[in-house]
Structure 1
Amino acid sequence: MDVELRVVRSDDAARLAALLTQLGYPVQEPEVTERLTYWFGDPASLLIGADVRGDLAGVAALHVIPMLEATGRWARLAALVVDERYRGKGVGRSLVEAAETRAREMGCRYMEIASSRRRVQAHRFYRSLGYEDVCERSARFIKYLLR
């Protein structure tokens, strides 16, 4: 499959809304348009799109965070979504590899991916790319500040 990787643009909002809805986060285009403004304005964040014959087939959301406890930065794949029609065809792999390349270029020591325990297929996919589930040795705590 011929996949062109590119930066997500503001005119991708409607298609991105459809992708996020497929991922289980129902959203409308105006909300995505608003979210894109703060993604585009953040120099530590990047939205990578996978274009297949003019169709936005998937998106990887990358965020880079500086480290204090060690020299360098680390990256977080904040979101990864591939349209159902393109899953299993290398689109997700291309997006993750592009995110990893960009993270390396920005001096990141490692990449983190958080994924709901119910996404068993996604976990197999991440393992196939060399990612390790570290929940046994590293806890993740969340406190909601706004609802």
Structure 2
Amino acid sequence: MNIRRMQENDEEMVIKLLDQLGYPDARNAVSRKMKILLQDPDEYLVVAETSDGEVVAFISIHIIPQIALEGDFARISYFSVDEKHRSSGIGKVMEEYCEKIAIERNCDRIELHCNSSREKAHQFYYRQGYTESSKYLMKKL
């Protein structure tokens, strides 16, 4: 398994993985957003590929500076492993990569939002040491 920074030519596989994650209409945004995020030093778009170069997972990590705290936050915003490769250890490797980046960037926590319907994802995160935190609020615009 090879972990590497995402490249623009990974777009089609990222769209497929987002569809599996429950975002079937992501195609319109992906190309434009990838270009922006790939240029931002606080954003990490990372893929996992097999030995033959097939992309089978991706994770989007954001480093968020905190004004009142010493450590910053790393936030996982999207994380998907191809359904044919789930429960093979790829997710664990990707999450460990995220933790490495977070430590290197002086983060004191990793946070994420995971929809209440994603029970298998919750089980994965609990196994990785995540705990539930305070209420998550949002306002749709």
What CA distance in whole angstroms lies between the structure 2 residues aligned with 1:54 and 1:8? Answer: 13
Query: Secondary structure of 2:20's match?
Result: helix
Partner of 1:80: 79
Q: 1:104 to 1:5 in 2, by over 3 A?
A: same
How far is 1:108 from its partner?
0.2
The answer (yes or no) to whether the contact 1:58–1:81 under 8 Å persists in 2 is: yes
Q: How does 1:77-116 map to 2 (within 5 A)?
A: 77-116=76-115
How far is 1:144 from its partner?
1.9
The answer (yes or no) to whether the contact 1:14–1:28 under 8 Å persists in 2 is: no
How far is 1:113 from its partner?
1.5
Q: CA RMSD in A?
A: 1.2
Runs of 4+ in 1 over 3 A off after TM superposition: 27-31
The amino acid that maps onto 2:48 is A
What CA distance in whole angstroms lies between the structure 1 residues aligned with 2:42 and 2:35? Answer: 14
Q: Deviations over 1:2-41 (max 9, x none)?
A: x100001000001110110011101365532112011112
Alignment partner of 2:24 out of 14, 23, 26: 26
Q: Deviations over 1:102-126 (max 9, x none)?
A: 1110000000021000000000000
What CA distance in whole angstroms lies between the structure 2 residues aligned with 1:79 and 1:15? Answer: 14
The alignment-based identity, stated in percent, is 31
Aligned length in residues: 140
Query: Secondary structure of 1:94's match?
Result: helix
Q: Give the gaps of 5 or more residues in structure 1.
A: none
TM-score by length of 2: 0.94
